[in-house]
């Protein structure tokens, strides 16, 4: 089991969760069939980093059925649910090192009127 943080723009909630190891747990958490990753934090003294997993096709969903959020200083809106997990030196998922309360300070919610490039 791994500790993760789920960003749910549909419910506008950020929660600490526990997920099983493996790809299917990521797909299930973000309710997607494919995903992409955004590195959101790195520890300069180790290989551990936190990664945000997102629906790879989130921008292709009808904007009336999608929700958005911004994370930190990332320049683009992020679509759908996001799952933060840690990644080790070998690229394996491990516990994330950021709590939901800290993530909440970095998240801004979007709205349905957001213009999305297709």
How do residues 74-91 score in pLDDT, each as one tens digit?
A: 888 899 999 999 998 888
The answer to whether the CB of 42 falls within 8 A of the CB of 18 is no
Express each pLDDT in 5-59 by its tens digit: 999 999 999 999 999 999 999 999 999 999 999 888 766 556 668 999 999 988 8
Q: Across the chain, what does the average pLDDT equal?
A: 88
Question: Residue 104 above 90 pLDDT?
Answer: yes
Question: Residue 118 above 80 pLDDT?
Answer: no
Token pair 């789920």 in the structure block, residue: 6
Question: Residue 97 above 60 pLDDT?
Answer: yes
Token digits for 1? 């089991």
């Amino acid at each position: 089991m791994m500790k993760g943080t789920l960003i749910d723009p549909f419910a506008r909630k950020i929660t600490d969760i526990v997920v099983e190891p493996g790809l299917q747990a990521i797909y299930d958490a973000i309710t997607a069939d494919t995903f992409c990753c955004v590195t959101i934090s790195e520890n300069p003294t180790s290989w551990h980093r936190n990664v945000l997993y997102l629906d790879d096709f989130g921008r292709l969903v009808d904007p009336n059925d999608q929700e958005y959020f911004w994370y930190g200083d990332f320049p683009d809106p992020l679509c759908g649910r996001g799952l933060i997990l840690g990644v080790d030196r070998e690229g394996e998922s491990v516990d994330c090192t950021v709590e939901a309360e800290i993530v909440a300070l970095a998240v801004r919610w979007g709205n349905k009127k957001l213009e999305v490039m297709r």
